[in-house]
Amino acid sequence: MSAEVLTTDEAAALLSMHPKTLLRQVREGIIPAARVGRRWKFSKRQLLTWLEEGGSRYEELVDQGLLEATEEAMANVAAGRSRLVPWAEAKKRLRV
């Protein structure tokens, strides 16, 4: 029994998302994939299992990032260390 292997475009179509969005979520470790040479390959079985288990936890990750950033900011203010964070750093922390 061979597992069906999908290309990026085929996996994006299966998940009804843009290929660039798919690749971003793969790099973030949200969507399961394997790098073969210079290309990403996807197991159809793994993608379907991933969907059945709830799929993307993107909103949960963003909410957790916001909570952590808020707690850090509150601790800094309480300690008298308020500072501005560059937008690029804030986006990286929030994974957006």
Summarised one tens digit per residue, pLDDT across range 30-78 is 889 999 999 999 999 999 988 887 776 655 666 677 778 788 878 877 7
Supply 71's token pair.
């707690």
**What is the tens place of the pLDDT at every residue in 6-20?**
999 999 999 999 999
More confident position, 12 or 29: 12
User: How far is it, in rounded angstroms, from Cα 32 to Cα 43?
Assistant: 8
Return phi, psi of residue 62, to 5°. -65, -45
The tokens describing 11, both together, are 């996996």
- Residue 21 DSSP SS3: helix
Confidence of residue 4 (pLDDT cuts 50, 70, 90): very high
What 3-state class would DSSP assign to 28? Answer: coil
Annotated domain spans of the chain? 5-52, 58-94
User: At 1, is the pLDDT very low, low, confident or very high (cuts 50, 70, 90)?
Assistant: very low
